[in-house]
Structure 1
């Protein structure tokens, strides 16, 4: 059979220590990602550890002839489901108490997906990852995707492993082939831009779990004692690989794929060396470290909902709030571990009883409750109160500008997007004026539409998300994940410019200036020069102030959450964007092109408002909503000074026949 008939399953204290490292990486990263930019790799460590431990159990049972699927899944049920159901139920109840109906409805769907072992599938296909998507940090059950991956792994792994164990000579080649295929699948998905699929789905994660399995098979199901020097060197290298990954990777890194190999290999090295008494394995086996490892599963389950609700209520959370969240998640984890997780783990009930008690009954209950919430559009028991009526008083259109059918914004600009007749504003025939840029161009469409109606002109708009309106290698200033789309979109835009006499440029200038101020300033100037050589009239739009801490749904949330303080004026906002606009205005002035800034309409002295005529005009901290943009344009058209500047600039175009 290739493995010994009998194996001794010693309890590995150092594995608890490894779990402690993994969970602390994840928790600290989610509390404040600046502390450990790549801390999300703790999940990858968990996958490798899980593959190692599960394969160990299967090979041990196979070698002794005692393996049974009923016993295998009995242990998995005890280990995973009770705490998961408990946390999911409490999280859903908290959502009903705290969240807006539309958010409760989304939470209910994710709860159903979680208990059916499909959270990763749900978030892959139904999580809004568009440019204007809601903050994913405020989605309470998002972290359950990793449980979906593990639970799906448990479904296929025993059958797969038991099948290939019949031919011992082919086990290692088969596992290596699976690992290589999984990495290849992940890389292909990342290369094609399917980042969510690569991140959340099992095929792209299977190599991490299989790597743990490969190690335990290579060890013949034993815990070998290596030479201490070799074991220590392997452990140091493993920690170095994990540490470098945690320090160098970021949430914007294309992951997993090839970039997940170092943390996977590092965890494998620590597992391989941990059964030998050497300094690192001894540190990992210390009681305080082991204790964190023992509660790691409960801590992982609780940490995200606690932080998600903090972000949901307060947006960016302060250091004090971060510490309070850390204390709360630790208390909940200890409670969950000792009152739910540990008692269930040592239950002696047979498979059938456990399956009914810990799976069938709670699953049915969760589906029923979630279905009721979905049917009532997230209101649930609040339907019996005055809440719907109170909520209706604050209902307002705060959709992002990119959602409007007259706005042509996309992640990858195509020729079809540039010819969409719906995106011609104030006219039907092709105009001679183009508004071009990123989401900041899109959120100006409504404002320019109102102004253009007053001036009697028309224009077209198209935009590429998170990609600046420069022609000189714009991908330099974007996230790595969208560099390819940015380059393609810019090339598509350039081909269309000959149709227009005037090009209005708008972008999230501060975002790109932060990448490299000197390079971006030069790229902007070069773009203006290029367009001027084509006899284009150029107008550059300044950026609206960022209202840090602004939540357009605050007043609606405050019906339930009386503790929220909803701000509509933000001190210091002009100063925060002033430097950026001065840089852009200087470039425009030096190149002899027009510059227009909406700040005088939005701000007075050192305050900027989030409302016009008592209506919120921002979608988020830095973007106008579609309706808000229109409100801004109406207000600007009534400002004689601003309208005079607009007419003066646009007269250049009007004289050219546009």
Structure 2
């Protein structure tokens, strides 16, 4: 991260140390230090520091000259930021040629292009809102989003200050305006965090309040007051506690930024104000220690390098040990030192560039255009490496299920509450089978549609993204709240299914084994498992009690990596696809499956069907079988492979049941009362 460099005469070691604290939090989070789950808020610390320093610097220039020299300001920013960032982008693209599959090289070249032009945050908003977007965590350029937000702030804020100077606004008016910006921006950010979190997180106007808080801190208190005040050290310690407390207690599952981001932002303001006073008991003395100073100087380079290092390392070593992670950390520091001394500092302080504002602006233009052009060229070059083998993997991963090929809306999105059943197979038949569940039901739709056509029955789907058939409220990571839309949709779907009187309902859903990913407190897991058992029983019994046969499919394996990307990389690197296999003990939880089997066994007219052998041997769950990609990600069946499963699925699900479907409902079912749909 940047945070404008102060002039030597106003250099504050505590701010350099604060930068170190910020970047170390971000690195710890990305390197998987579980004891610091909130380390990512280091970015928010950077935003406040930037707002403080840039406002202080610009106000000093206004006091000296009565104006702001925009071109000179932008020239300094260009020398400071662009050379190092473009250098990292180019090295990352080059390394990606040897590590990434051609399809990934194409995709992430877009990230490099948007990073080079400082608008990657806008691209990521669209990416994050797309439920089926490729895995963002593998994008080696995603961390440039915060630099884009800063650059957009640098572009607007000085120009706004200059406008106010020209209309002769006084310091009080400026303060009120900045406070208004902070209030409006924060209110919008807090609201959108619950409504559309990607916009609140990535869009610069909704992060402006953090920069504005830094600006307000630069204007609020006079340095003479801060130097005399006895509470300054206490203020600093309280601020440091807020920052570190957020590092320790917040996680990426929390609704962030919103109100939570106030803690690190206000903590940073408090530390900044405290640092104006000389005191032996102030936190500034710790922040001024040599390790913090050295790390703070490298903070921008460290931020640039740490993410591509850990992303590429994780691709090459999916199960990294602590020693390997420490080696990655050492590599990050080595690369940062090299770029700091050979790229960042020499260009920033180059006498020829400093002497001419136009030269620095020209350099900025050249670097921006060059970065964008090379990223575009890299994407085109990667496209030429799409051999038939790579094309087959890409097609298998991208091909939608038979349901989605017909109509995407057959699988309801997160916000949809009203069920939308879709009909396949023999649509005029009076023999009906219902497929009910989430996206794990959807991936079975392809073979089920083929079976329905062959056997002449009607297949009706009731499916909703991330919405299990089990009656239990779950937490949705994308919405960052309880998934109440799922509860409403599920109840309506069950009523409609019962009123429809199908011969069979096939239930498929993300399994109980994934519950631990949806809770922050492990102590809640036993209670959640109990709720899960009660929810399965409730759903299955309500269907069974009206004479409907219920088939509960055991969930598919969950692989350790994204299979499509892993296999494509392996083939590109001339390795066997088997390197992407996952041990069966890691991919499947037999204890949870036993619990589900016992629950279903207690429900009349219900059967538990386990088709794990279609994906796994006794020891291994395979990435490819008979030349076909088994999964398009970690746990969704690739459609071409799913299409090959019609025959074994028919035997597993319909054997000894087809006569029942063909002959209609059993006499027992006919004797039962069926509630009418409302």
**Same fold flag (TM > 0.5):** yes
Q: CA deviation at 1:586?
A: 1.1
- Seen in structure 2, the aligned counterparts of structure 1 residues 108 and 441 have a Cα distance that, compared at 3 Å, is same
> What residue in structure 1 maps to residue 595 of structure 2?
583
- Seen in structure 2, the aligned counterparts of structure 1 residues 388 and 506 have a Cα distance that, compared at 3 Å, is closer
> What residue in structure 2 maps to residue 232 of structure 1?
233
**Residue aligned with 2:608, SS:** strand
> What residue in structure 2 maps to residue 20 of structure 1?
20
> What residue in structure 2 maps to residue 70 of structure 1?
71
1:522 aligns with 2:534: yes
- Counterpart contact for 2:217–2:273, Cα < 8 Å: yes
> What residue in structure 2 maps to residue 147 of structure 1?
147
Rounded Cα–Cα distance in structure 1 between residues aligned with 2:95 and 2:586: 37
**Residue aligned with 1:224, SS:** helix
- Seen in structure 2, the aligned counterparts of structure 1 residues 261 and 379 have a Cα distance that, compared at 3 Å, is same
Match of 1:628 among 634, 641, 666: 641
- Counterpart contact for 1:468–1:477, Cα < 8 Å: no
Rounded Cα–Cα distance in structure 1 between residues aligned with 2:296 and 2:320: 27
> What residue in structure 2 maps to residue 37 of structure 1?
37
Which residues in structure 2 correspond to 1:344-383 (within 5 Å)? 344-347=347-350, 348-357=354-363, 359-376=364-381, 378-379=382-383
- Counterpart contact for 1:426–1:449, Cα < 8 Å: no
Q: CA deviation at 1:393?
A: 7.2
Rounded Cα–Cα distance in structure 1 between residues aligned with 2:298 and 2:580: 43
Q: CA deviation at 1:499?
A: 2.5
1:177 aligns with 2:177: no
> What residue in structure 2 maps to residue 640 of structure 1?
none
More moved, 389-398 vs 86-95:
389-398
Rounded Cα–Cα distance in structure 1 between residues aligned with 2:655 and 2:209: 61
Q: CA deviation at 1:149?
A: 0.4
1:95 aligns with 2:82: no
Rounded Cα–Cα distance in structure 1 between residues aligned with 2:88 and 2:461: 47
User: TM-score, with normalisation over the residues of structure 2?
Assistant: 0.86
- Residues 607-656 of structure 1: CA distance to partner in whole angstroms, max 9, x if unpaired? 3333332322222232211222222333444xxxxx16632345554443
Between the two proteins, the alignment pairs up a number of residues equal to: 635
- Seen in structure 2, the aligned counterparts of structure 1 residues 490 and 633 have a Cα distance that, compared at 3 Å, is same
Q: CA deviation at 1:350?
A: 1.8
- The Cα RMSD (Å) is 3.0
- Seen in structure 2, the aligned counterparts of structure 1 residues 650 and 36 have a Cα distance that, compared at 3 Å, is farther
Unmatched 5+ stretches in structure 2: 1-6, 517-524, 667-678
Unmatched 5+ stretches in structure 1: 1-6, 638-642
> What residue in structure 2 maps to residue 557 of structure 1?
569
- Counterpart contact for 2:446–2:639, Cα < 8 Å: yes
More moved, 263-272 vs 519-528:
519-528
> What residue in structure 2 maps to residue 291 of structure 1?
294
> What residue in structure 2 maps to residue 437 of structure 1?
437
Match of 2:610 among 588, 597, 607: 597
> What residue in structure 2 maps to residue 399 of structure 1?
398
**Residue aligned with 1:443, SS:** helix
Rounded Cα–Cα distance in structure 1 between residues aligned with 2:265 and 2:506: 48
More moved, 17-26 vs 615-624:
615-624
Rounded Cα–Cα distance in structure 1 between residues aligned with 2:432 and 2:500: 7
> What residue in structure 1 maps to residue 334 of structure 2?
331
> What residue in structure 2 maps to residue 3 of structure 1?
none
- Residues 444-489 of structure 1: CA distance to partner in whole angstroms, max 9, x if unpaired? 2223334445544331223222222123435599973462443443
> What residue in structure 1 maps to residue 631 of structure 2?
618
Rounded Cα–Cα distance in structure 2 between residues aligned with 1:480 and 1:415: 17
- Residues 51-97 of structure 1: CA distance to partner in whole angstroms, max 9, x if unpaired? 00100101111112263212221221122111111111211222234
> What residue in structure 1 maps to residue 266 of structure 2?
265
Rounded Cα–Cα distance in structure 2 between residues aligned with 1:143 and 1:223: 38
**Residue aligned with 2:283, SS:** helix
- Residues 407-444 of structure 1: CA distance to partner in whole angstroms, max 9, x if unpaired? 732433647861445xx245466863221112211122
Q: CA deviation at 1:398?
A: 2.6
- Seen in structure 2, the aligned counterparts of structure 1 residues 622 and 154 have a Cα distance that, compared at 3 Å, is same
Rounded Cα–Cα distance in structure 2 between residues aligned with 1:426 and 1:482: 38
Rounded Cα–Cα distance in structure 2 between residues aligned with 1:331 and 1:533: 67
- Counterpart contact for 1:59–1:221, Cα < 8 Å: no
